[in-house]
Amino acid sequence: MDVGAYMLTIQQEHNISERTRFCTECGAEAGHHHPTRARGRRVPIALGLIAVVLLVVLGWTSQHRATNHIARLQATEATLREALKRQSEAATASTNGLSDRLGHVEAKLDAQPDPSAIAKAVGASVFTIDADMDLGSGFAISGDGSSTRLVTNYHVVEDTWKAGNKTVRIRRDDVTYDGTITDINPDVDLALITVPVALPTLKHAATPPQVGDPVLVVGSPMGLGGTVSSGIVSAMRTEHGHDYVQFSAPISPGNSGGPVVDRAGEVIGVSVAKMVGEGAEGLSFATPIANVCTSFSFC
């Protein structure tokens, strides 16, 4: 063998030996334990999986918390809505109740008498009776379109009647009419006067008044025509076989024969007398309108 070829062969073997002594992957000596490339890749993958799981868990936890928070907010909103609804219903009920009470109050106020309106309406039918030296009051109670009958007290026209004179004068404001005494009933102190003109008449109350009912008295106390006083029905009395309506409205000489009217302006009686004396106040009396109806048969 050629010496040069031999040495080349030895060198190649030597190089082969050198290559086998060290790992070409990591540089460690051949035969020593060292991590392989495959095992080195599994660690990052496991960490990645753990991170993903943690992210999923954290995400689920956050979502669960958010869902619970939203549910609590929705429950709170529902509670507030229900509370507002109850408050609104209570306010509506309160308003309705207030409206009902206000309606009742208005109805009661509407039912209350308006003295000025009643006095104005009644006053057009009330006149001063001038019977020579006697003065009294009277009111139109019925008519037929051409003549009108007025009621007054018999004691207002008594002197004229007994003198054989049946003519009296009736007046209101600046208007005066001649009237004729056409009927009398001394027992209940009533008389009828007829005038040949159509006058507005008053209605008579269909039922007796009740104690405590408000009343107005219209007449000519001391000749002062168109005077109005107010009071209440104080009592229903029977004295000496005669019925009377006792009332508290003050009357004076000249009121005799004038109407006592109720809250509707309907006649409940004819002013006839008052009690006088020391300490006597508001003790006035009227003949019930029922006596007028039975005396003259036209009610």
Which among 142, 147, 155, 183 is annotated as catalytic? 155
Active site residue 32: no
**For residue 154, what are the contacts with CB-CB under 8 A and spacing of at least 6?**
161, 184, 185, 186, 189, 190, 191
* DSSP 8-state class, residue 175: E
Active site residue 178: no
Which among 189, 204, 271, 284 is annotated as catalytic? 189
For 22, 137, 275, the CA distances from 134, given in Å and listed in that order, are 163, 10, 20
Active site residue 155: yes
* DSSP 8-state class, residue 204: B
Which among 256, 271, 284, 295 is annotated as catalytic? 256
Specify the residue for token string 């109805």. 107
Rounded Cα distance, 19 and 26, in Å: 13
Question: What is the distance of C-alpha 150 from the center of its chain?
Answer: 43
Catalytic residues: 155, 189, 256
